[in-house]
């Protein structure tokens, strides 16, 4: 017996609806895999009385080359990540507890460079096409959101010696229209940042001996000197973005 055209149409419509509802509601995160760093040193040991505190001096955050305010959450997350290594006796921010005079401390300065590419142009075109197709093309046109992070950490030992560590990671969240949520981008940023922090922690753990309290004496003067200089502005990544800089006119001779 042949199925009636109405029944066939209804079945096809139901199948299409189920396909749209299931495959059009997904999102997934793809992390760019970095080559594994050889770690030929096993777990390092440090005695409790050789641990020194780490003080987070400052976090400089940039997004797509432009400076941003650093959030307290980011600061807390970085401190937590460094605390997990177990290398330092305690970790604080310079804003919350300045170092005691004559105490051996490690000062940390972090550059957090983010690169965000939301593929806005592609999203706009795909959105128009999906809308024009009455959402039938939703399962076939996934959207993308790229995020990359580059962390540079500078650790200055109490005697002025500096060690630099770098890590970078990137990822993409791919999603169908109905699978988009506000937290998926946060999830992506969380994964990428975690990957960077893990790599930084691995590098710092390899230098355990360098940061143990008996690795170097406290400088005799006990006076820590810092260089004072005007900030240099890095040119924006995009050549088309112009920044006007006004400078005072040179003094007449």
Partner 1 sequence: MTRSSLAALITFAAAFSSLSIACEAGETVPHLTVGTQEIGLSAGYLLSNRLTDQHSTKQSGPAIMPSWAMVLTDPIGWRWLRGHLMLGAEIVYIQFQEPELTHGVGFTPKIKWMFEGTGRLKPYVEFAGGPFYTDLAGRIPEESARFNFILTAGGGLSWFFTSQLSFNVGYRFHHISNAGTRYPNLGLNASLPFGGFSFYF
Phi-psi region of 160 (alpha: psi -120 to 50; beta: other; left: phi over 0): left
1, 43, 120, 228: which one contacts partner 1 (CB under 8 A)?
120
Q: Does 16 bind partner 1 (CB under 8 A)?
A: no
Q: Contacting partner 1 (CB under 8 A), which of 128, 162, 209, 237?
A: 128
Work out whether 15 is an interface residue with partner 1 (CB under 8 A): no
Q: Which of residues 183-202 bind partner 1 (CB under 8 A)?
A: 183-185
Stretch that binds partner 1, among 45-53, 66-74, 86-94, 120-128 (CB under 8 A): 120-128
For residue 223 the two structure tokens come to 């006076």
Q: Which helix (H) or strand (E) holds 162?
A: strand 162-175
For the beta carbon of residue 193, count every other beta carbon within 10 angstroms.
21
Spatial separation of the C-alpha atoms in residues 12 and 5, rounded to whole Å: 10
177 touches partner 1 by CB under 8 A: yes
Count of positions on this chain that bind partner 1 (CB under 8 A): 22
Determine, following the binding rule CB under 8 A, whether residue 19 of this chain makes contact with partner 1: no
The stretch among 36-44, 70-78, 100-108, 115-123 that binds partner 1 (CB under 8 A) is: 115-123
Sign of the C-alpha dihedral computed for residues 59, 82, 155 and 148 taken in this order: negative
User: Does 181 help bind partner 1 (rule: CB under 8 A)?
Assistant: yes
118 binds partner 1 per the rule CB under 8 A: yes
Nearest to 211 by CA among 102, 66, 55, 79: 55
Helices (H), the chain: 5-23, 72-83, 120-132, 183-205
End-to-end CA distance of the chain: 105
Given the complex with partner 1, which of 134 and 251 has the nearer CB atom?
134
Dihedral angle of Cα 87, 92, 97, 102, to the nearest 10 degrees = 20
Q: Which of 79, 130, 192, 200 binds partner 1 (CB under 8 A)?
A: 130
Out of 72, 134, 223, 251, the only residue in the binding site for partner 1 (CB under 8 A) is: 134
Binding site for partner 1 (CB under 8 A): 116, 118, 120, 123-124, 127-128, 130-132, 134-135, 143, 145, 175, 177, 180-185
């Amino acid at each position: 017996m042949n199925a009636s055209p109405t029944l066939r149409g209804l079945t096809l419509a139901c199948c299409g609806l189920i396909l749209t509802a299931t495959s059009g509601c997904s999102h997934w995160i793809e992390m760019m895999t970095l080559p594994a760093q050889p770690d030929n040193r096993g777990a390092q040991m440090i005695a409790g009385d050789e641990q020194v505190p780490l003080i987070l001096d400052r976090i400089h955050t940039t997004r797509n080359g432009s400076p941003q305010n650093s959030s307290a959450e980011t600061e807390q997350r970085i401190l937590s990540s460094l605390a997990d290594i177990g290398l330092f006796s305690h970790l604080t921010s310079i804003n919350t507890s300045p170092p005691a005079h004559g105490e051996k401390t490690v000062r940390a300065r972090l550059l957090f460079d983010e690169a965000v590419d939301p593929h806005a142009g592609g999203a706009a075109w795909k959105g128009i096409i999906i809308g024009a197709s009455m959402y039938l093309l939703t399962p076939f046109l996934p959207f993308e959101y790229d995020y990359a992070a580059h962390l540079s950490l500078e650790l200055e030992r109490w005697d002025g010696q500096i060690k630099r560590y770098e890590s970078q990671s990137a990822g993409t969240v791919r999603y169908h229209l109905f699978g988009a949520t506000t937290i998926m981008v946060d999830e992506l940023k969380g994964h990428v940042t975690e990957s960077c922090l893990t790599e930084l922690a691995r590098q710092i753990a390899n230098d355990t001996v360098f940061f143990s309290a008996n690795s170097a004496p406290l400088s005799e003067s006990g006076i820590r000197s810092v260089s004072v200089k005007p900030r240099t502005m890095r040119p924006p990544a995009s050549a088309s973005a112009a920044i006007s800089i006004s400078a005072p006119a040179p003094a007449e001779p």
